[in-house]
Amino acid sequence: DAGVIQSPRHEVTEMGQEVTLRCKPISGHDYLFWYRQTMMRGLELLIYFNNNVPIDDSGMPEDRFSAKMPNASFSTLKIQPSEPRDSAVYFCASSLGGRPLEQYFGPGTRLTVT
Amino acid sequence: QKEVEQNSGPLSVPEGAIASLNCTYSDRVSQSFFWYRQYSGKSPELIMSIYSNGDKEDGRFTAQLNKASQYVSLLIRDSQPSDSATYLCAVNTNAGGTSYGKLTFGQGTILTVHP
């Protein structure tokens, strides 16, 4: 089975540009999570969805960040405009409804904003 | 006070020894506890979950939970160089509502197993 798929794997952009990160969860999983990892702050939950509906977005840092899940097999995390402090590794994870906390992580997108 | 605290290490143990990784959490109503392993440059991978007080064993790994002391640990027996990684402790406080799927992660402990 394919695991969680994320694209792009690396993204380098200039400050002020729009960045879109993409995620395809494991087929059949009905929970999807977006995390950010930095050396300073560790691994932080940004937002999570259940059955394509956002459940908790309290971790989204500010209005520059937005996430959507238009269907069960695709989600995006968008940053507009991007800032250097957004540089981090962004992980998408998915899980089954019966065990939402047993999460399977994608390979991550390393974002660098210059 | 951080919600989930781990000693960042690095913890260095010789091959074949027992590695002991510790984690404390601040919310007394926390109910579910997890250990994830993260190799350098890779994504976290779930290796153990524990939900009730006591020990849970899976191969060379043993998770221990003491809710009264708000403490969870991971023991790795017969440590191998391939166990060298960062180990993340994660906690869920299912207080209802939107917390059902939320994990709070510690900063992680770097483990190095030397031959």
Mean pLDDT for each consecutive 10-residue tract of chain B (115 residues)? 84 97 90 95 96 95 95 97 97 74 92 95
Which one of A101, A102, A103, A109 makes the best mutation probe of the B interface by having the most chain B beta carbons within 10 Å?
A101
pLDDT of residue A60: 95
Q: Is the pLDDT of residue A1 over 70?
A: no
The first and second tokens of residue B21, run together, are 């990784």
> Pairing relation of β-strands B109-114 and B11-14?
parallel
Burial A87-108 (b: 16+ CB within 10 A, else e): bbbbbbbbbeeeebbebbbbbb
CB B113 within 8 A of CB B83: yes
ω before A81 within 30° of 0 (cis)? Answer: yes
Q: Is the pLDDT of residue A28 over 90?
A: yes
pLDDT of residue B31: 83
CB B53 within 8 A of CB B104: no
Task: Work out the average pLDDT over A17-25.
Answer: 98
pLDDT, one tens digit per residue, over A71-109 is 999 999 999 999 999 999 999 999 998 788 899 999 999
Task: Work out the average pLDDT over A30-41.
Answer: 96
The first and second tokens of residue A10, run together, are 């690396």
Nearest-by-Cβ selection for B92 from A42, A101, A108: A101
Task: Work out the average pLDDT over A22-28.
Answer: 96
